[in-house]
Amino acid sequence: MDVVAANTMLATYTLAGCTDKAERLLETMPLRDEVTLDTMLVGYSQNGELLKALYFFKEMRHRTASSWSIVVLECCRNLVLEEAAVLFQNMPLVSSSSCAALVELYTLSGLLMEARQLIERMLQVDIASWNMLLAGYSLNGYCDDAKRTFDGISSRNEVYVLLKVFWSWIPRTMDPWSF
């Protein structure tokens, strides 16, 4: 069986939740490529086997940008903050989706300073990262920080609607800045 056919079978097994069958097939494959390895990483992760995915990743000889991104995103999705942060720091090439996921994880964990520092290091910040940081500031009562951040964003139109929604949740005893 060639590598393309084998990768298709791996994907089929993992989508069906049969990672054990995918593992057996993987052991018989003489040739493996980036798709092979990424399929296994995603398969483990989507089937709730993050520890297997992390072990598999750590055993990989040749890690690619996509394999790094997969494990960082999966750690973020599973709220495994420390592992995600360590992997992110060691990534040879950082993807914008990994940055956004880590900003979200930091924000959800209440680590707003870390989220802000990460955004400041990003070459290009997507709107999702700004929204997540502003939501974190707003939900935690840091209205002044939210305003300063909002004022510093060049493309504020997309953020404006979200910010208004979050501020509608702030108790009336607080005085959020007006538009």
Report the range of poorest mean pLDDT among 6-10, 117-121, 150-154: 150-154
The pLDDT, as a whole number, for residue 140 is 83
Please indicate, yes or no, whether residues 127 and 146 belong to a single structural domain of this protein: yes
Helices then strands (H, E): number in the chain? 11, 0
How many CB atoms sit inside 10 A of residue 105's CB?
A: 26
> What's the mean pLDDT in 28-50?
89
Domain end (from 93, 118, 152): 93
pLDDT mean across residues, the chain: 80
Amino acid at 69: S
Q: In sequence order, what are the residues at sequence separation of 6 or more whose Cβ sits closer than 8 angstroms to the Cβ of residue 157?
A: none
C-alpha distances (whole Å) from 110 to each of 12, 18, 28, 135 are 38, 36, 45, 11
Please indicate, yes or no, whether residues 73 and 121 belong to a single structural domain of this protein: no
> What's the mean pLDDT in 51-73?
85
Please indicate, yes or no, whether residues 10 and 82 belong to a single structural domain of this protein: yes
Residue 25 has pLDDT above 90, yes or no: yes
Number of domains in the chain: 2
| 119 band by pLDDT with thresholds 50, 70 and 90 | confident
Check if the beta carbon of residue 162 is closer than 8 Å to that of residue 128: no
**Residue that has been written with the tokens 């990424």 in this structure:** 38
Domain end (from 93, 111, 138): 93
- Determine the structural domain holding residue 129 and report its residue range: 100-179
Which of 29, 74, 84 lies closest to 49, judged by CA? 74
Amino acid at 62: H
Please indicate, yes or no, whether residues 79 and 112 belong to a single structural domain of this protein: no
Biggest CA-to-CA distance, the chain: 68
Amino acid at 152: G
Please indicate, yes or no, whether residues 19 and 67 belong to a single structural domain of this protein: yes
What six digits make up the tokens of 132? 């997540």
Please indicate, yes or no, whether residues 72 and 158 belong to a single structural domain of this protein: no
Instruction: Give the single-character DSSP code of 150.
Output: H
Please indicate, yes or no, whether residues 64 and 132 belong to a single structural domain of this protein: no
The pLDDT, as a whole number, for residue 178 is 46
Please indicate, yes or no, whether residues 136 and 79 belong to a single structural domain of this protein: no
